[in-house]
Homo-oligomer: A and B are copies of this chain.
């Protein structure tokens, strides 16, 4: 999928018990850069103070050696953020760090608190003042108002009041706390390196720093990590897990291990299953790079068709391009992908992508492939049709804009202009993933509109807010 349609979400990292904790967090954020490119931040603790640095942009741009050196201490947490453009503000960058009666506390959050607006209103009505427009800040206010003496108690009290999706890492002067919501919507894993404990959104962060993957942090689990070691509690009511299936389909890096399985291998298996369900009368299989590559490899393998890179990606693509006034055909797609005429001409091509969101990009892509000489284009999608928006931390278009929400497969095929169109079935998806995970544990609301947590319909977008910063 070309990321015009869909934006990434967030990545979190935490390191406890290492003399260069902030540097390790920085590298972890580097490995998780694909989860958010709008801002990056690290808060470190030297046992007495929290020192914070956040900035807009990529990890490599936000930090330099001098800054990392200032972020001294044995523990640190970090965050990569994606956000809609209106709210790309430094004050919304994470980790958020505040002072309360108990000392400093910082938090990094991946997810979405579905009752944040309502909680914010209640908190404001009893005198709380908000500094950001993030849902995450609600958690800090609930903690500040909790009666509990210790931080872990305040965290539990706060989390008992919030609903929705969260993979959280907290840092205080002395402790690091990791928490995952009871449904386990968003991923969070635990690793180690000698006496050092590490938590991260994905295991690829462990690989870079040479840490060992221990296990997933369980849905509903809260983990307290301090000098005394690592203590796990499950204070929240147990519910059926509903981890986001889209981590397998698109979000996670292929080299990560998510919900216990290697993402690349899952995607490859999806491709094989797709080939079994939706074969194509084609001469070759072409992936939409990069996210469609593993599924295309599986599709080619299962269908015994040759695999070719018929679309070449430009790796230097930035955010903006200056297009001539005399518009160039399919400019937006072409700047990212170049179809290979030598490979495509006269061929019946099975094009494999991971998903279709709005359909606009897909339509342009197919046209471009045809213009490059393909005789037939058979679109194959390694996930089911997307009919529902996500309310748990991913910035999806509203339901109305989802092509599969308004059209059946033949209708979509016509709109995108493919000779044939085949989606992986939900059953097929479950079968592939369920081999050792259990499909019932995954949230597939994208494909079913069955949401594990009721949503108010109120978005956390900026429109609600009275103060607009342009700092």
CB proximity to B under 8 Å, residues A89-120: 90-91, 93, 97-101, 103-104, 106
List the B side residues contacting A319 at CB < 8 Å.
Answer: 60
Tell me if A435 is interfacial: C-beta within 8 Å of chain B: no
Contact A322 B23 (CB under 8 A): yes
Chain B nearest Cβ from A96, distance in angstroms: 9
List the B side residues contacting A208 at CB < 8 Å.
Answer: 328, 334-335, 338
List the B side residues contacting A64 at CB < 8 Å.
Answer: 322
Partner-binding segment picked from A358-366, A417-425, A436-444, A460-468: A460-468
Q: Which of B24, B60, B210 contacts A329 (CB 8 A)?
A: B210
Tell me if A342 is interfacial: C-beta within 8 Å of chain B: yes
List the B side residues contacting A254 at CB < 8 Å.
Answer: 309, 312, 340
Q: How far is the CA of A218 from the CA of B254 in the complex (A)?
A: 44
Given the contacts A51-B470, A97-B467, A471-B52, A309 and B129 also touching, CB distance less than 8 Å: no
Tell me if A244 is interfacial: C-beta within 8 Å of chain B: no
List the B side residues contacting A97 at CB < 8 Å.
Answer: 467, 469
Contact A325 B20 (CB under 8 A): yes
Tell me if A77 is interfacial: C-beta within 8 Å of chain B: no
Contact A129 B207 (CB under 8 A): no
Q: How far is the CA of A127 from the CA of B30 in the complex (A)?
A: 35
Q: How far is the CA of A129 from the CA of B139 in the complex (A)?
A: 11
List the B side residues contacting A60 at CB < 8 Å.
Answer: 316, 318-321
Q: How far is the CA of A466 from the CA of B23 in the complex (A)?
A: 21
Q: How far is the CA of A160 from the CA of B101 in the complex (A)?
A: 23
- Provide the main secondary structure of the chain A interface: mixed
Q: How far is the CA of A338 from the CA of B254 in the complex (A)?
A: 10
Of the listed residues A26, A129, A257, A343, the one surrounded by the most CB atoms of chain B closer than 10 A to its CB is: A129
Contact B470 A52 (CB under 8 A): yes
Q: How far is the CA of A141 from the CA of B23 in the complex (A)?
A: 36
Could you give, for residues 193-228 of chain A, a 1 whenever the CB lies within 8 Å of some chain B CB and a 0 otherwise? 000000000001001111000000000000000000
Partner-binding segment picked from A290-298, A383-391, A396-404, A447-455: A290-298
Interface size on A, residues (CB 8 A): 105
Chain B nearest Cβ from A147, distance in angstroms: 10
CB-CB nearest in chain B for A62: B471
Contact B173 A144 (CB under 8 A): no
List the B side residues contacting A98 at CB < 8 Å.
Answer: 129-131, 467
List the B side residues contacting A470 at CB < 8 Å.
Answer: 51-53, 67, 70
Contact B128 A131 (CB under 8 A): no
Of the listed residues A50, A309, A325, the one surrounded by the most CB atoms of chain B closer than 10 A to its CB is: A309
Contact A312 B49 (CB under 8 A): no
Contact B324 A24 (CB under 8 A): yes
Q: How far is the CA of A174 from the CA of B466 in the complex (A)?
A: 12
Q: How far is the CA of A55 from the CA of B469 in the complex (A)?
A: 11
List the B side residues contacting A308 at CB < 8 Å.
Answer: 297
Of the listed residues A67, A254, A316, A465, the one surrounded by the most CB atoms of chain B closer than 10 A to its CB is: A316
Chain B nearest Cβ from A220, distance in angstroms: 25
List the B side residues contacting A290 at CB < 8 Å.
Answer: 315
Contact A58 B318 (CB under 8 A): yes
Known pairs A49-B468, A255-B340 / 8 extra A-B pairs, C-beta < 8 Å: A51-B470, A90-B471, A100-B128, A103-B466, A173-B466, A207-B334, A209-B328, A301-B306
Which A-B residue pairs are the 8 nearest by beta carbons?
A127-B145, A104-B466, A131-B131, A255-B312, A60-B318, A262-B342, A33-B316, A101-B124
Q: Can you give 29 A-B contacts (C-beta < 8 A)? A: A20-B324, A23-B324, A30-B316, A30-B335, A33-B314, A34-B315, A52-B467, A52-B471, A60-B316, A68-B322, A70-B470, A93-B471, A97-B467, A98-B130, A99-B124, A100-B124, A100-B128, A101-B125, A101-B127, A106-B467, A126-B145, A128-B128, A128-B129, A129-B131, A208-B328, A264-B312, A265-B343, A297-B309, A301-B306
